[in-house]
Amino acid sequence: MVYCPRCWLHHGIRVVNLVVNFFGMGMIVYSLWLLKLWWEGFVEVGVSSSSLPRPWFIYAFLGLGIIFCFNALIGHIVSNCINTIALSIYILFICSILLLQIVVTAVIFFKIDWQSAISKYVDGNIFKNILTFHLNACRLISITTILAQVNVLVLAIVLWALGPQPRNHCGSLATPNLRYSFLVPTSDSPPALPPSAPAFARRIQSSSSAAG
């Protein structure tokens, strides 16, 4: 089966959406584990839960994971559709969601000084270093997943620019040419025997030629 560039774009969108979906599910599990680490860690260092700051970066990370899974599901559905209107709606939708994700990531992860906020409760503690490491990991994973969604958006725009095509436009199979196959003889006459062939083989060939 021969695939055209449009088919490869369809497959590319599906693969990238699948990767984003796995990232989103991993972010959800990771954020739930971070919430448990946040509350249990502060309790162990002697800080009451009522005076703790809200872990907004963990909440934002959890929300981004849910949005990534939802976007990947919608993108996988749209990748199976060849309707230009559906692609246009999907492009507008993912642009709006991407803008929201970028704003949330910039405000929650980079504008707020989480290290200073954590230092008010635990200073010079191993738990502070652990939280700082996971904060940087959340930033890196969020940026990586946003870049993956930007790739999905670019592929969708290119697919929309190519225009609609029939669903079976790449479904025809190429007919093999058996003219030069070793299974099909090229002529009716038998091949010539080499000079070193035995005499009985030459007699058999002569009788076959006479019978034909």
**Confidence (pLDDT) at 48:** 61
Q: Is the pLDDT higher at 63 or at 55?
A: 63
21 in Cβ contact with 69 (< 8 Å): yes
pLDDT at 58 over 60: yes
| Burial of residue 35, with CB atoms counted within 10 A of its CB: 0-12 exposed, 13-18 middle, 19 or more buried | middle
pLDDT at 190 over 60: no
Instruction: Express the helix, strand and coil content of the chain in percent, nearest 5 each.
Output: 70, 0, 30
Q: Is the pLDDT higher at 81 or at 176?
A: 81
64 in Cβ contact with 104 (< 8 Å): yes
Per-residue model confidence as pLDDT tens digits over 74-93: 877 777 766 778 888 888 98
Q: Average pLDDT in the 176-202 region? A: 56
CA distances from 188 to 185, 200, 212 (A): 7, 22, 10
**Confidence (pLDDT) at 1:** 47
Two structure tokens written together for 37: 């680490």
Per-residue model confidence as pLDDT tens digits over 114-136: 777 777 766 666 777 888 888 88
